[in-house]
Structure 1
Amino acid sequence: METWHLFVAIGIIAFILEIFTAGFISASVGIGFLFAAIGNWWGLAGSWQLVLFAFGVALTYLFVKPLMTRYGYRHNATKTNSDALIHKSGIVTEEINQLKNSGRIQIDGDAWKARSSTNEIIQVGTMVSVIDIESIVLIVKPLN
């Protein structure tokens, strides 16, 4: 077995480790070993192989990692908890009146304290849309 075979094998092992770790560091090292394997295959001296290894790691980490972070490691941006209520519609179950500090709406079977975005009085039975959340109070506007 030649040395470049060993470098390629170590590079593949580094890629496999990347599956179990995050951060693209193992993959960068794997690409560095592939660069060193090419240098060994060309018959370059050990110092040049080390330079190619370092160049491969640095090049990959500085230029490929930002692309992988932006496009490769995307996580689902599904909103949860109270953030999921924004843009949902509900029905007023208690008159929304700023002067009386009253107002409740029902969304998906849950009752929430609500306030009008324009300080207008919204009658019971009116369909509203949630436009913002302040603490545990939903800010709503009537649907037309």
Structure 2
Amino acid sequence: MNISSFALERHFANSIAAEHLFNLARDLGFLEMGEKEAKMYQEKTLNALKTARAENLSDLDAFISKNLEGIQLYLADLKMHNYPKWVASNYFLYELIVLLKYPSIFTKEYQDENEWADTVAVNVERALKKHAPKMTK
């Protein structure tokens, strides 16, 4: 089952786990992206969910809730190894969590298909190797 853009937006508006994730990222210094710019990342997040064969968003909520401390370390690690000002949409932050839950999908093909910048991809790949094995699936 593919998750629709409408379902994803509705989920972001109603999910306590997603709200915790977004607040955590802002507390760590990820800057919020404008709504118009952010929409460009929606399709990439939907593609990540499709590639991971995620059946529903409640599984990701459970993953976030079980691993909030580990997610904080993961995001802090990513932030520390990037530019001081990292502007990130909520869609991109959610994609980072999809990758953390399903790290095997972060292949070179996936990166190319989703137009990942090489520097960001290397940083995410490094952080996934370090943090993904510690997460409770």
Structure possessing the higher relative contact order (Cα contacts under 8 Å, 6 or more residues apart): 2
TM-score, normalization by structure 2: 0.23
More helix by share: 2
Pick the structure with greater CA Rg: 1
More strand by share: 1
TM-score, normalization by structure 1: 0.23
